[in-house]
Structure 1
Amino acid sequence: MTDHVTTHQAEEDARNEEILIWLNGRVVPKAQALVSVYDSGFMLGDGVWEGIRLYDGRWAFLDEHIERLFEAAKAIDLDIRLSPAEVIAAIHETQAANAMTTDAHARLMVTRGVKTRPFQHPSLSRQGPTMTIIMEHSKPKIPRPIRLATVPHMRGLPMTQDPKLNSHSKLNCILACIAAEKAGADEALMLDVHGFVNTTNACNFFVVKKGAVWTSTGDYCMNGITRQKVIDLCRANAIPVFERNFSLVDTYSADEAFLTGTFGAQTPVSTIDGRTIGTGQMGPMTERLRALYKDLVRA
């Protein structure tokens, strides 16, 4: 599709060819930021990550993102071997090395590190974790509302792979994205194990119906920081908000739909499974929440 749009689409920026990347305690040029083919992240997707955004010299909700990174590492029994303060210092070091002040996106990745042999058992990762910070100049450029298609791939039960975990193992979501693209959409709308509307392959999902904001229960979706900020903003501004089970029938008749994520903040949705949502353009509630979120970031 020639006009395919992604929720992480950014303006082209030539400066990103010359960025410096933090890798295991050193800041190195992009071409030298290399990891071993024996790394457990490359070999098995054995690692966790966070995405953060720089607005006007400050990383938005940084403490919450770092807390989530350490929670995820503990959940998979991975010792980062740095304190939260040391990780934050590494972020600031990378920012300073790249002279970034605003409109930057950083991806922090930690894997179980280099393996002695190419097999699954975590005890084969004996050299300590691999950690990197990729920081790019990044201004979102999402030229139109996103088109969604419902796919058969689900966000599963917590005892299979807990969807709250920001793990490197993203194949389920990638397959969902491929299925949506083959259906002529931009991103996948994924259901939960009971068939209720849940999340997309990359973002949290909201609908607006009769002045109220709905999102999933949160049981089967990523514990999105931007998702929670939108819920909190609704509560603080007397906007009715519900975390509830709802179906595709409820969704198709919504007045508005939008996605939330660290990169795009609040991204409007135009169609779902070929049905136009509202006017097919950004609705007034999405616009209002965008403004409230911008104020929150500035504050």
Structure 2
Amino acid sequence: MSRNIYLNGEIVPEAQAKISVFDHGFLYGDGIFEGIRAYNGRVFMLDQHIKRLYQSAKTIMLDIPLTKKEMEAAILKTIRANELSDAYIRVVVSRGEGDLGLDPRKCSEPTVVIIASAIQLYPEELYKTGLKLVTVPTRRNGPEMVNPRIKSLNYLNNIMARIEANQQGAPEAIILNTDGYVAECTGDNIFIIEEDTITTPPRYAGILKGTKREIVLAAAAEMGLEVKEELFTRHDLFNADECFLSGTAAEAIPVVEVDGRVIADGSVGEKTKAIIARFREIAQTTGTEIYND
């Protein structure tokens, strides 16, 4: 079935959703994006995703030609145009059409694309049995480079890490920062649990501040776990009681092995199970209504 795509203010059939080969998003990765989920007729954490989109835009000095309210309306319009209640939504804003030079001043108008479709990163079985991950040679780019807090269209750092994971037959890669501390995965934030403490790398470690990361930390606090945002190494990871990831596409998913080291007894931990259950409960019952008339 053909999807309907939002392209610069219009809903068009997928086959007509075309941009110029001179668009600087295509030529140079000059732009930003957000991945958003909808469940049961509600868009999950829409305000937070829009806020992060505009923060990324401000940092790279990209003027989005829609207000935040207009962006919200465009996202909802795109979902309705595809008659979806459960969806993965991709919002892309590029610098727009320019010339073959780098100068963004040659791009007269940003390109805005919104896609509403479906995504499944991992089979449901892995949410019960857990992932076996590897650490890869590619390091996370630091904040003085292309800051990882910017959700930019230049994802080669993540893609190179994913290629290295693919070469080792792993479903996801753990990326270290330039100082050798655990940063994040190619598309997910990472957490470890030791006794009654949950730890995740801090924002300055070179991570994207995931919207679902905040849900996990709030759920952990609800459970009475001590929440820490601090640096840790692979040694801490190998010796954790439990480990799991979170992200918009992956949701929350357990990890049972890293670099050939089994996490605890190799089964999914009880606290991780509880966090996954709470995450899904929140996702399935909260959000911005899509069909509110």
The two structures have a TM-score, normalised by structure 1, of 0.90
- 1:118 is aligned, of 100, 114, 124, to 100
Q: For the Cα contact (< 8 Å) 2:120–2:250, is it kept in 1?
A: no
Shifted more, 132-141 versus 75-84: the winner is: 132-141
SS in 1 for 2:178: coil
Q: For the Cα contact (< 8 Å) 2:92–2:113, is it kept in 1?
A: yes
Question: 1:133 corresponds to which letter in structure 2?
Answer: I
Shifted more, 77-86 versus 192-201: the winner is: 192-201
1:154 corresponds to = 139
Question: 2:275 corresponds to which letter in structure 1?
Answer: L
Question: 1:137 corresponds to which letter in structure 2?
Answer: A
For residues 45-194 of structure 1, the aligned pairs below 5 Å read 45-102=29-86, 104-115=87-98, 117-126=99-108, 128-138=109-119, 141-142=122-123, 143-144=125-126, 145-194=130-179
* Counterpart-to-counterpart distance in 2, 1:41 and 1:290: 35
* Counterpart-to-counterpart distance in 2, 1:273 and 1:120: 40
Shifted more, 79-88 versus 265-274: the winner is: 265-274
Q: For the Cα contact (< 8 Å) 2:188–2:250, is it kept in 1?
A: no
* 1:93 to partner: Cα distance: 0.9
Identity %: 36
Change (3 A) 1:228 1:38: same
Shifted more, 54-63 versus 203-212: the winner is: 203-212
Shifted more, 271-280 versus 174-183: the winner is: 271-280
* Counterpart-to-counterpart distance in 2, 1:176 and 1:137: 24
Q: For the Cα contact (< 8 Å) 1:21–1:29, is it kept in 2?
A: yes
Question: 2:116 corresponds to which letter in structure 1?
Answer: M
- 2:268 is the alignment partner of 1:282: yes
SS in 1 for 2:187: coil
The two structures have a TM-score, normalised by structure 2, of 0.91
- CA deviations on 1:129-177 (whole Å, 9 max, x unpaired) are 0010111034565232222111121222211111111000000110111
* Counterpart-to-counterpart distance in 2, 1:156 and 1:137: 29
* 1:218 to partner: Cα distance: 2.1
Structure 1's unaligned 5+ residue stretches are 1-16
* 1:211 to partner: Cα distance: 3.0
* Counterpart-to-counterpart distance in 2, 1:168 and 1:25: 21
Question: 2:240 corresponds to which letter in structure 1?
Answer: A
- 1:296 is aligned, of 267, 271, 282, to 282
1:13 corresponds to = none
* 1:193 to partner: Cα distance: 2.0
- CA deviations on 1:204-236 (whole Å, 9 max, x unpaired) are 011112232111122110010101111122223
- CA deviations on 1:232-287 (whole Å, 9 max, x unpaired) are 22223311221111111111111221110011210111321111223434321111
Structure 2's unaligned 5+ residue stretches are 287-293
Q: For the Cα contact (< 8 Å) 1:52–1:60, is it kept in 2?
A: yes
2:242 corresponds to = 256
* Counterpart-to-counterpart distance in 2, 1:255 and 1:156: 29
Question: 2:171 corresponds to which letter in structure 1?
Answer: D
- 2:197 is aligned, of 192, 196, 212, to 212
1:12 corresponds to = none
* Counterpart-to-counterpart distance in 2, 1:239 and 1:58: 29
How many residues end up aligned between the 2 structures? Answer: 280
* Counterpart-to-counterpart distance in 1, 2:250 and 2:172: 14
1:29 corresponds to = 13
Q: For the Cα contact (< 8 Å) 2:200–2:229, is it kept in 1?
A: yes
SS in 1 for 2:88: strand
2:182 corresponds to = 197
Question: 1:110 corresponds to which letter in structure 2?
Answer: V
* Counterpart-to-counterpart distance in 2, 1:166 and 1:230: 20
* Counterpart-to-counterpart distance in 1, 2:121 and 2:142: 32
